[in-house]
Amino acid sequence: MLNKSMKAALLLLISSTSVVGFPLVQIAEANPLQSYHAASNLPLNNFKSFIESFFSSYLHKPEPSEIYIDDGIQSIYHLNETTDENFESWIDDQYELSFSRILENIGGVGTNLQNVSDGAVIASPSKSNPNYFYQWVRDAAITVNSIVEYLNDNIEDLESSYSKKLFFAIESYIANNHKLQRLDNKSGTWESLDSLGEPKFMPDTTTFDEHWGRPQRDGPGLRVITMINYLNFLKNNDLDVLYPNLIHNASFVYNEILKPDLTYVINKWDKDGFDLWEEIDSIHLFTSLTMLKSLKMGIKLSEAFKDYEFNLRLRTSFTALRLYILLDSGFKVPNIPFLIETPSLVAEAKRCGLDIASILASLRAHDLDDPTDIIDIPFSVDDSSVLSTLAALVTDMKYRYPINHADGTFNKGFAIGRYPEDLYDGLGISEGNPWFIATATSSELLFKLVYYLYYHNKDLVITNDQFSFYSNFISLDPNTKSEKVILPFGSDAFVDTTLSLMKYADAFLEVIQEHVDADGHMSEQFNKYTGYMEGAEDLTWSYGSFWSAVRWRKRAQWEIDHNV
């Protein structure tokens, strides 16, 4: 364990070297970091020297030798020589259909919704067995972020009536959340900001007053990510808000909506809350990592608004939360290769810690077009522990779910569920099933990994702790396991391996193709014995997860086509 002096030193180093770091004097004077510096019993001038010594003494590891492989590497993943035209046609159709069904579940945009406020995103139109006819803060933020991404992908069409409908969906969502924030509810009052931890509301923007797992602390951070992405989109395209009667202007959004949410993150990042599955009251990786991303985005936006005092509070919290994630949280421990979503459950021997939520956290917390995210925010798509999480989920669930038993090879796509110990069947407690969200998320991770490597012209580096993952795709000499294997960007070995990753990602989409119905409907789950859909029908997040995976498939393929 690190003592207080060591933590103080490491805290300063992280702050001073991070992209969002700030001067040493400010760190020493800023609460609560002042106590860390004082605890070190070192003069400020000697503080940095101590840190360097600290790293040298406690964290230095000898660098492994490097082996470069340009060609001659053998892919052990089956690559079809021809493209499956039926699969490609289905991908395109389901991609469009999924986005249209997302819009159908948004008030003021969907054509079959009644008593739903404009901008309210319902989780599902299902009103019984189960009733998901509510607006969840988390689901809504993730959903609307997809609409922002759609506009970003179609900037040549911003004047169309269809784009205007999307602008209305986003800005009415922002206006609706301005109202939701200010509703006193079972999580607390607006005056204390505890109300922002409320997870869900009625479709007509009134409070949900029944018993529930509350508070859930990921909502404000996810809302910040989505809204700042939208403000950035407007700025990058020299646009003002299109519906000022709803949200006035960017300054209004920043001061009246984003600052309260960011203040909540500042105040609550180290407090227990329920996880994204609404089951466990603890500290969770998904919540912590998305909070960290929101703080980083808030730092940059507060600078643009010259809100320097608040900016310092954001920086202080960012540094403290980042240190916590890296050192104290238990999200990554030496003897477990995968990420641990909820460490307290592992400590209490209630679960193994494996959860698709950890991969969701990585995907939602990293902007792959921004290289600083890879530095500032842990567990990006190329991180060995993230890839090991996918590998561990596949290893578990290819045997756990009978519909996966037909082919036991790793490089076939498998139906993936939330976590091994899951008992929720979509209506009650019996046996957990595969989820469309989880299966699509597995695919998206791989597409994003390929995109990241090509977009940033990165060599594919296979370290010791990534060996087991990549050895499922390419033939690697076991004698090189202790070495660092490097496939240079653009080399035959690099291209063959990334194409194998693309095929593996497609295999998860093929699983989804097998289990949607003839009209492309997606529920929450599909039965692990029969494969038929179960749980809430037309789940918004299911459609959004599939749409996002295919979006990154298109982006990754574009990079391949323009680099190979």
Q: Which residues are known catalytic residues?
A: 275, 278
- Distance, CA of 379 to CA of 386 (rounded, Å): 6
- Distance, CA of 475 to CA of 486 (rounded, Å): 14
Cα 405 from chain centroid (whole Å): 29
Exposure of 297 by Cβ count < 10 A (0-12 exposed, 13-18 middle, 19+ buried)? Answer: buried
- Distance, CA of 290 to CA of 496 (rounded, Å): 33
233 Cβ contact list (under 8 Å, min separation 6): 148, 151, 152, 239
373 Cβ contact list (under 8 Å, min separation 6): 293, 296, 365, 366, 367, 380
Longest Cα–Cα distance in the chain: 70
In terms of DSSP H, where are the helices of 355-383?
A: 356-365, 371-376
- Work out the number of other CB atoms within 10 angstroms of the CB of residue 546: 31
- Distance, CA of 238 to CA of 232 (rounded, Å): 10
- Distance, CA of 143 to CA of 128 (rounded, Å): 22
**Residue type at 234 in one-letter notation:** L
177 Cβ contact list (under 8 Å, min separation 6): 119, 137, 140, 223, 257
- Cα-trace Rg, the chain: 23
Reported as type and span, the H/E element at residue 136 is: strand 135-136
CA distances from 165 to 100, 119, 147, 168, 290 (A): 12, 11, 10, 5, 28
Pick left, alpha or beta for residue 505 (phi over 0 → left; psi -120 to 50 → alpha; otherwise beta): alpha
Cα 294 from chain centroid (whole Å): 12
- Work out the number of other CB atoms within 10 angstroms of the CB of residue 426: 20
